[in-house]
Amino acid sequence: MLSIEKIDIYYKELQALWDISLVVNEGEFIALVGPNGAGKTTTLNAISGLLKPASGDISFLGQSLSKEPPHKIVELGISQVPESGKIFAGMSVLENLELGAFVPKARKAKGQSLERVFDIFPRLAERQNQQAGTLSGGERQMLSIGRALMSNPKLLMLDEPSFGLAPILVEHMFEMIEKINQQGVTILLVEQNIQSALELADRAYLLENGRIVGQGNARELLNFESVRSSYLG
Amino acid sequence: MPASLGQILVFGILVGALYGLVALGLSLVFGVTKILNVAHGELVMIGGYVSLWAFSTLGLDPYLSIPISFAVLFLIGAFLYRLIFSRTVKLPEETKIKNTLLVAFGLSVILQNLALRIWTADERGITASYIGIAFKVLGVRFPVVRLANLVVAVFFLVALQLFLRKTYTGKAIRATVQNWEAASLVGIDIHKVYLLAFALGAGLAGVAGTLVAVNYSIQPSMGLTWTLKALIVMVLGGLGSIPGTLVGGLILGVTESATSFFINSNYREIAGLILFLLVLIFRPQGLFGEKEG
């Protein structure tokens, strides 16, 4: 479904990603894990079109994304839940969700999508007229995921959805993501919380210093000696 | 003399409404794109000439030519954004403000000289038949032309506010202001949003130009005065606050008219600038702006 072939990404002269290749198949739950600063967010932003690779190619359902602007990539069916949510704090919960369905195709299905989001996150239905900036951390994260679902994506990418949440909420969040995956949405999850991410995912990629240093079946990776000693203690 | 105090207040408010309208476009453009368009006053000037042209060649009443000056300046704004500002808007925020300031300053010089070529340096105005008419309420004079300032300013303020709050496109503009990255991730073409905001701001400058041509006179070099007024009003009202822009305009108008009455009309502009400094020192977020962070 999504295939990244040997991309390099630079921030001005500074190289952030080196020769990254990655494949996501339809329906899969993929985890992209690694320490802080490894390039996980950079990878997601490259897929979303916020950053453009200096070399290599990214393609989605057979179409190259390298020259497409971010809004076209959303239209093609890729949606990102950005790091720390980035909700529109000055608007109501409902307005945030409506904006999630901004692309023409999604706008037509707005009513249905809204029902689906409220079904997954009943809390958002209760708070729909509340100003988004007044939500709690967990609710903001739900809103951010809900907003991303409003475009009816085929591939949902989540950037550290557990960040800053209480452990009990983290568990709940992961359950919700699993539920979304079971509804047929392909998931690409970026996490620092390596243990939980690897327990959930089908396959995983391990990123370090801008390079992929390990990949494979998520459970096998969990048992990998080097992963255990470096990240899981 | 309560009647003359009332007169100062009324006069200040009616002039201030026009100041607010001039600042509205500048504030919208700055709020959305972070471009400080110091050529805004030149756009006001062109708006004035558009209405003057419609008045003298088509015999069109200046108030009826408002849609024309709006549309012409909207298109000019879109063109200028495409040609010039779309290149600077992608820069990181600090360099963006500095660079757009320089670019817009250059643009203002070019527009002034073009206007000199086309329309010469003569001062002109629109002399509609009803210009001298005023009516009195409780001893206070309400000139109809000045009263129209308030009506037009409030109309455009409310229309802009409704557009930003109720329409999908308006919401996309607000979303881009709040977080451009998240906005592009939900599928908003933020460069289209910037183009639209800039064009709308220019269109509003055009409307203000029509009113300036009726209230005062127009000439190619008038731009800087109006840009300065708009800047003062924008800072008074709070950057990016749309209702604040009108209130900021009213405050500047009343301050100026009080200064003219109690001191001397030559000190009018100085009073405005002193007000500007006081606000920057004691309330830099503006009277109605919110503190950042």
pLDDT at B141: 86
In angstroms, the Cα distances linking A149 to A114, A175, A187, A220, B7 are 9, 16, 12, 30, 58
Q: Are B81 and B197 in contact (CB under 8 A)?
A: no
What's the DSSP call for residue B137?
E
Alpha-carbon distance B39 to B110, whole Å? 10
Taking the C-alpha atoms of residue A157 and residue A153, their distance in angstroms, rounded to an integer, is 9
Mean pLDDT in residue range B28-54? 94
For residue A137 the two structure tokens come to 């951390």
Domains and CATH numbers, chain A: 2-77+153-232 (3.40.50.300), 87-152 (no CATH)
A217 has a pLDDT exceeding 80: yes
Residue A229 above 80 pLDDT?
Answer: no
Within 8 A of B31 by CB-CB distance, chain A residues are none
Residue B27 predicted with pLDDT over 90: yes
pLDDT at B4: 84
B124: which DSSP letter?
A: B
Q: Chain B residue closest to A72 (CA)? A: B187
The confidence score (pLDDT) of residue A53 equals 92
Residue B118 has pLDDT above 60, yes or no: yes
pLDDT number for residue B74: 98
Residue B281 scores a pLDDT above 50: yes
Query: How many beta carbons lie within 10 A of that of residue B142, not counting itself?
Result: 17
Taking an 8 Å cut-off on Cβ atoms, the answer to whether B178 and A100 are in contact is: no
User: Over chain B, what is the mean pLDDT?
Assistant: 91
Q: Which residues pair with B142 in a beta bridge?
A: B135
Q: Chain A closest CA to B152's CA: distance in Å?
A: 28
- pLDDT at residue A80 is higher than 70: yes
Model confidence at B3, pLDDT cuts 50, 70, 90, reads: low
Q: At what angle do helices B2-33 and B168-178 cross, to 10 degrees?
A: 80
- For A151-167, what is the mean pLDDT? 92
Q: How much is the pTM?
A: 0.91
User: With contact defined as beta carbons under 8 Å apart, do B206 and B74 qualify?
Assistant: yes
The reply to whether residue A99 touches residue B184, judged by beta carbons under 8 angstroms, is: no
User: Residue B293: its pLDDT value, please?
Assistant: 32
What ipTM does this complex have? Answer: 0.90
Q: Where are the domains of chain B?
A: 21-221
Buried b / exposed e over A71-87, threshold 16 CB at 10 Å, is bbbbbbbbbbbbbebbb
User: With the C-alpha atoms ordered A137, A139, A140, A146, is the resulting torsion angle positive or negative?
Assistant: positive
pLDDT band of residue B171 (cuts 50, 70, 90) is very high
Chain A residues with CB-CB distance to B168 below 8 A = 98, 102, 107
Residue of B nearest to A85 (CA): B182
CA-CA distance, A25 to A2, in Å (whole number)?
A: 7
Nearest CA-CA partner of B21 in B269, B201, B214: B201
Which of B91, B176, B181, B185 to probe by mutation at the A interface, max A CB count within 10 Å? B185
When CB atoms are compared, the residue of B181, B187, B189 closest to A50 is B181
Q: Do A50 and B186 touch (CB under 8 A)?
A: no
Chain B segment 156-185 residues within 8 A of A by beta carbon are 168, 171-172, 174-175, 178-179, 181-185
Q: Given a cut of 50, is residue B271 above it in pLDDT?
A: yes
A16 touches chain B (CB under 8 A): no
Considering only CB atoms, which chain B residues are within 8 Å of A102? 168, 172, 186-188
CA-CA-CA-CA torsion sign (A8, A9, A13, A16): negative
pLDDT surpassing 60 at residue A213:
yes
Region A199-203: what's the mean pLDDT?
Answer: 91
Q: Considering chain A, what percentage of its residues have pLDDT values greater than 70? A: 96
Least Cα distance to B114 among B173, B44, B42 occurs for B42
Q: How confident is the model at residue A36 (pLDDT cuts 50, 70, 90)?
A: confident
Cβ separation of B185 and A102 shorter than 8 Å?
no
So what's the pLDDT on residue A74?
A: 96
Q: Which of the residues A11, A52, A65, A71 would you substitute to probe the B interface, choosing the one with the greatest number of B C-beta atoms within 10 Å?
A: A71
Q: Which residues of B touch A89 (CB under 8 A)?
A: 178
Q: In terms of pLDDT, which residue wins out, B264 or A76?
A: A76
Residue entry with tokens 């105005």: B125
Least confident of A28-32, A33-37, A225-229, B57-61: A225-229
Give the number of other Cβ atoms within 10 Å of residue B89's Cβ. Answer: 19
Distance linking the first and last C-alpha atoms of chain A: 34
pLDDT at A163: 86
For A81-126, how does the pLDDT look when each residue is reduced to its tens digit (9 = 90+)? 998 889 999 999 999 999 999 999 999 999 999 999 999 999 999 9
Of residues B181, B187, B189, nearest to A82 (C-beta): B181
Query: What is the structure's pLDDT at B292?
Result: 43
